[in-house]
Structure 1
Amino acid sequence: MSEATTPAPDPAAEPVVERATADVVVVGGGVAGLVAALECAKVGLRVTVLERRDELGGCVGRIELDGLTLDSGAESFATRGGAVAELLGSLGLEADIENPNPAGAWLVMPGKQGGLDAAPLPKTGMLGIPANPLGDDVRRIIGWSGATRAYLDRVKPILRIGRAHSLGKLVRERMGQAVLDRLVTPISAGVYSTDPDDLDLDVVAPGLNEAMTRMGSLSGGVGQLVEERRAGGAVRGIRGGMHRLVDALERELLRFDVTVVRGAEVTGLERDSSGGAGFETRASLAPQPAESWLVTATTETGELVVSAPDVVLAASGHAALALVDDALDGWAQTSGTGSAEWPAAASVELVTLVLDAPALDAAPRGTGVLVAADAPDVQAKALTHSTAKWSWLTEAAGGRHVVRLSYGRAGAANPLDGRSDAEVSELALADASLLLGVPLDERMLRASGRTAWRDALSQAAIGQRDRVRALEDALAAEPGIEATGSWVAGTGLASVVPHALEAARRVRHRRVQPDAGA
């Protein structure tokens, strides 16, 4: 008897097309998308999440190295506003919120005699702008000449007509180039991956324009805001890692019967004037609108087409903008701020190292290092000494050390592009040795891993708020579509979470009848 064989797939055959319906389709399974999906599902809306990667969480993810489960992206959250802590509490994680080591970070810069120099970052300031330009910690970094120039800010009259827009321009004019290069630029690169000249002051330091006017100087305005926001300016983390937030959200989505499709690359978004006629559907809490959206995605098995009255675009910046271009034909021409007018995305990559290096037990550079752009022989822009920053990780590591290095500055090619994993590990180890001031070699390296983001759009760039407003106006004219995520909300979970909640609540308002208990 001959053995049965499976026919080879016919490359000319039509791709398999799967059709489905939902009340809400969420494009993107990062934290913004998961939060929006959960908020919609809580009131009974049927939600489908389409995520192009195999893992959920976006910039909040995990990496397994040497038996440790570590954060591959965000490892903390800003406490301002309270939205993240409230979310964590609702997910049962409130008791696991922890404070980092308050030791603070250092700055690595060119040394006066060549090579590198390092000093603790001043603790009284905002975005590197010192509240006390003549302080010892400031002079240690910019010298007496730089500090004296910065102090001129205290006697130079503040322009009371108009507003400062560029963070870099303001610092340069008020305090000089040394403060900009040595204190402000490293933080701008580390936090926003953006040159300070391109950062919108009102976004990155809200209230500073007004505080400057009240106090009569930039340093005085910074000092006032530091005092006012001292309680709300802290960062915190989760015992075990921020990736536990994604796990908790995923469990809740499962509990509320949310459909999550991984490996689904969304390729199209268009109006379906038939309202999804012919699709199997379940009654929504509100009457089905006359029109729905058709969301098309490619999957491992073929093509998936989902019809839904509401769509939440929670994908990364340019991916979401491409879908808006598809959905709102002509919006770019009418608004003048279409996707082609948005800035190029930054290329950011993190490299995590697990080390056997007893010399790091003393945390020689505090909880991490920021790097001046002109620091010689170093490619990284920042380093976090994670086992020095988080006590839970110190316990879990059992004598090992975990450091994370960040690569990719605005307007420049990422130095890791085109390098193999082995080459990246070698470079990161050399950078870590220079930045931490401790000899490190390959014998100490137990494991390494890399995580890349190639579509990071900063909402803090000058002009970005206007582009976001134009986008929001265009979407408001087409009910049934929302956009959320860091590219429109701002950097960090403290900005992303409340923005995603508001987007979801607008969907709920449209889709849930008043007597349905919303």
Structure 2
Amino acid sequence: MPQSPEHTAIVLGGGVSGLLAARVLAQDGFKVTVVEKNQHLGGAVASHELAQLVLDSGAESFATRSPIVSNLLEDLGLKDKIVLPNSGGSWLYLPGGAYPAPSTGFMGIPGSFEDPAVQQVLNFAGIQRAKLDKLLPASVGAHAKTLGELVRVRMGSQVLNNLVAPVVTGVHTMHPDVLDLDTVAPGLRQGLRTHGSLAAAAAAIRCAAPAGSAVAGIEGGMNQLSEALVADLQRMRVRMVTGFDVIAVDRDPASGDWTLIQRRSDTSERTVALSATNLVVATDAPTATRILGSHLPASAVPSVKSGPEVALVSLVVDQPSLDAAPRGTGLLVSDQVTTVRAKALTHASAKWQWIADRAGAGRHIVRLSYGRTGDTSQPIREVDLTDDQLVTLGLRDAAKLLGVSLTPQQLVAADVVRWQGAIPAPRAGHQEKTEKFRDALGQLEGVTAVGAWLAGTGLVAVTKDTYATIAEFSANVRQNMACN
């Protein structure tokens, strides 16, 4: 449809959700401007260079339970670069040592107690307690607020501590006891009602996923998704403004236009430069609620904390003993482990063949994740360490987790990437709060919001939610204009 002055939109936030929102609006004929406070577009889908290798510095895969991301990549010309991880599988690191992770179930919830991997990490009493799940009425746990509460009441503490907590904490950085059930595990509550047990619900979710690997990646790194989105927006003449920190949003009561009050990140010079009829806020939760809070009823503005700080330590090491991938594609670490401070390790050169090919024989890339939320057992948080200290800690933790010797002499290169708030913090009641926020936002004309804090963690959730939200928003704008 032809552009008109009324069809203008500002997208505040240049992460993947913001870029997707801009793309949909541009395809619908809007004249779009993307505003991002950082110099980098793409948010946590980013890259860094280490030992002449371009690697992902944030997200390095996407879930294949839905074709929505694969379809997007195909649309962007990246279909031929989609790759599956090697079949080594992941491991768990528990107080008793390293164990292969079960291959059945969902989010660590076992779908079968006959799985040998499940029997390795649960003792006899733990298995017997877990099996009560199939005897309990479906009503038990039906009103659980958190994922941890549901698992504990139906399967017991061993399943929660040895299976679910390492998996969930590795993904969400927070313990399942504080994570909102319906946000981090959508469909699980309904699955319990439908199938009568948590194990059956987990097995059904697993079976519903496409055959093959649960995740996929891009040869050369997921960072190419951000680059392809930016290139596509440039082709559609979307304006992209970086280095501007928006401190407030005003709305003209007469025209209804939205105006961004900005502050240059480098000079703190305030300017009022950008206005549009429509506004999409694609930022983290604290920024979105701060920006939009004055335009909404106080009762509809959720008190949502920023996600925790995470430090990713990437190491390039020369250690031929790792050629055999002794811990598969990586490990998720139980929070009950006291000898290792990392919460997860990815053996990138064992997981992705393209990385192994570019690194060469005997050279390996491992990435460790630090930043446990609510851990008061240590005198200092890992993320408070300097980069050099984190590299030293990472080398020690990697040796312990992988079961090989790793010395400073074997370290070829290292890098530390820190992310603040990149992963949402969906505590109990989160979904109820976001639904109330979106309902109130729907009463305002010409504005909507998207992002991981509203959609849930992961590219599938973000992509699906952004498409649906922006398609509805665009249709409403066109309908309102037709009526006027």
Q: Quick check: TM above 0.5?
A: yes
Q: CA deviation at 1:203?
A: 3.3
Which residue does the alignment assign to 1:412? 375
Structure 1 CA distance for aligned equivalents of residues 419 and 321 of structure 2: 32
Rounded to whole Å, the distance in 1 between the matches of 2:6 and 2:399 is: 54
Once the two structures are superposed, what CA deviation does each residue of 1:117-136 show, in whole Å capped at 9, x if it has no partner?
11100111211111222432
SS of corresponding position for 1:133: coil
Q: Distance in 2 between matches of 1:213 and 1:268?
A: 45
In the alignment, which residue of structure 2 is the partner of 1:217?
197
Partner of 1:316: 284
Task: Give the 3 Å change call, closer, same or farther, for CA 70–21 of structure 1 in structure 2.
Answer: farther
Aligned length: 471
Whether the aligned pair in 1 keeps the contact of 2:47 and 2:55 (CA below 8 Å) is: yes
**Displacement of 1:211:** 3.3
Please name the residue that 1:295 is paired with: 260
Alignment deviations for residues 307-361 of structure 1 (CA, whole Å, 9 cap, x no partner): 11111111122112211124x15x22x33xx24x224532222111111111111
1:176 to 152, 156, 161: 156
Aligned to 1:426, which of 392, 400, 405? 392
Return the alpha-carbon distance in structure 2 between the equivalents of residues 231 and 423 of structure 1. Answer: 42
Aligned partners of 2:398 and 2:360: how far apart in 1? 20
The range that moved more, 50-59 or 443-452, is: 443-452
CA contact (8 A) 2:314 2:366 kept: yes
Percent identical pairs in the alignment equals 41
2:275 to 307, 310, 314: 307
1:175-324 maps to which residues of 2 (within 5 A)? Answer: 175-231=155-211, 234-273=214-253, 290-299=255-264, 300=266, 302-304=269-271, 305-324=273-292
Q: Secondary structure at the match of 1:450?
A: strand
Q: 1:48 to 1:176 in 2, by over 3 A?
A: same
Instruction: Answer yes or no: is the 8 Å Cα contact 1:21–1:307 preserved in 2.
Output: no
CA 1:370–1:297 in structure 2 vs 1: closer, same or farther (change >3 Å)? same
The CA distance in 2 between the partners of 1:259 and 1:384, in whole Å, is: 37
Which amino acid letter does the alignment assign opposite residue 35 of structure 2? L
Instruction: Please state whether the residue corresponding to 1:197 is helix, strand or coil.
Output: coil
Q: Which amino acid aligns with 2:373?
A: A
Contact 1:40 1:507 (C-alpha < 8 Å) held by counterparts? no
Q: Distance in 2 between matches of 1:306 and 1:408?
A: 37
Aligned to 2:18: 33
The 1:426/1:49 distance shift into structure 2, 3 A limit, reads same
In structure 1, what is the Cα distance between the partners aligned to 2:306 and 2:223? 28
What residue is the counterpart of 1:80 in the other structure? 65
Q: Which amino acid aligns with 1:176?
A: G
> What's 1:372 paired with?
334
Quick check: 1:22–1:48 contact (8 Å CA) kept in 2?
A: no
* 37 and 215 in structure 1: CA distance in 2 versus 1, 3 angstrom threshold: closer
Residue aligning to 2:365: 402
The 2-side partners of 1:125 and 1:506 are apart by: 34
C-alpha distance in 2, partners of 1:378/1:131?
Answer: 29
- 2:352 is the counterpart of 1:390: yes
What is aligned with 2:459?
493
After superposition, give the CA deviation of every residue in 1:349-375 in whole Å (9 maximum; x if it has no partner): 211111111111110000000001011
Unaligned 5+ segments in structure 1 are 1-19, 112-116, 275-289
Seen in structure 2, the aligned counterparts of structure 1 residues 121 and 474 have a Cα distance that, compared at 3 Å, is same
Distance 1:265 1:75 in 2: 27
* In 1, Cα distance between equivalents of 2:162 and 2:360: 36
Return the alpha-carbon distance in structure 1 between the equivalents of residues 472 and 178 of structure 2.
Answer: 32
Taking a change above 3 Å as real, the CA distance of residues 142 and 230 of structure 1, as seen in their structure-2 partners, is farther
Contact kept, 8 Å, 2:246 with 2:260, in 1: the verdict is: yes
Match of 1:435 in 2: 401
- 1:89–1:506: structure 2 CA closer, same or farther, 3 Å change rule? same
| Equivalent AA in structure 2 for residue 77 of structure 1 | F
State the distance in 2 between where 1:482 and 1:515 align. Answer: 17
Q: Which amino acid in the other structure matches residue 355 of structure 1?
A: V
Q: Secondary structure at the match of 2:385?
A: coil
RMSD of aligned alpha carbons? 2.4
Taking the aligned partners of 1:250 and 1:419, their CA distance within structure 2 comes to 34
Report 1:40-55 matches (<5 A): 40-55=25-40
CA distance in 2, matches of 1:161, 1:371: 26
What residue is the counterpart of 2:312 in the other structure?
350
Q: Partners of 1:207 and 1:482 in 2: how far apart?
A: 25
Q: Which is greater in Rg?
A: 1
1:265 match: secondary structure: strand
Q: Which residue of 1 aligns with 2:102?
A: 122
Q: Which residue is equivalent to 2:47? A: 62
Q: Cα distance, 1:494 vs. partner?
A: 0.3
Gaps of 5+ in 2: none
Amino acid at match of 1:349: A
CA contact (8 A) 2:283 2:451 kept: yes
- Tell me whether 454-463 or 378-387 shows the greater mean CA deviation: 454-463
Cα deviation for residue 143 of structure 1 reads 2.0
Does the 8 Å CA contact 1:160/1:213 hold for their aligned counterparts?
A: no
How far apart are the structure 2 equivalents of 1:161 and 1:380? Answer: 31
**Structure 2 counterpart of 1:463:** 429
Instruction: Give yes or no for contact 1:317–1:457 (8 Å, CA) kept in 2.
Output: no
C-alpha contact 1:346 1:410 (8 A) present in aligned 2: yes
